[in-house]
Copies of this chain bind each other. A is one copy, B any other.
Amino acid sequence: MEGDIAQLGQYIGAGIAGMGAGIAALGVGNVAGNFLAGALRNPSAAAGQTATLFIGIAFAEALGIFAFLTALLLMFAA
């Protein structure tokens, strides 16, 4: 058994952080899913809420990208 044991942690940690990116997709899915559910009930109002849809997706997506960034930092920078 050889190798730097700290790298063991880096790689396991990167994997866990990568899982976080996947979990964030649930949040994005909630935003887009609720938009679609509402837009199909009331299509004429959908166009006026497109900006809010992207705001909601952007904030949830940002947290998922933070998780992915943590994975990248662990693999290549830490």
Contacts and interface: CB of A to CB of B under 8 A. Distances in A.
A43 B52 CA distance: 12
Interface residues of A, number: 73
Given A34-B33, A71-B18, A28 B56 contact: yes
Interface residues of chain A: helix, strand, loop or mixed (majority): helix
A63 B6 CA distance: 27
A33 B59 CA distance: 12
A52 B26 contact: no
Contacts of A34: 32-34, 36-37
Given A9-B12, A23-B26, 6 more contacts: A3-B4, A9-B10, A24-B26, A29-B56, A64-B66, A71-B73
3 pairs of A and B residues whose beta carbons are closest in the complex: A32-B56, A13-B15, A38-B40
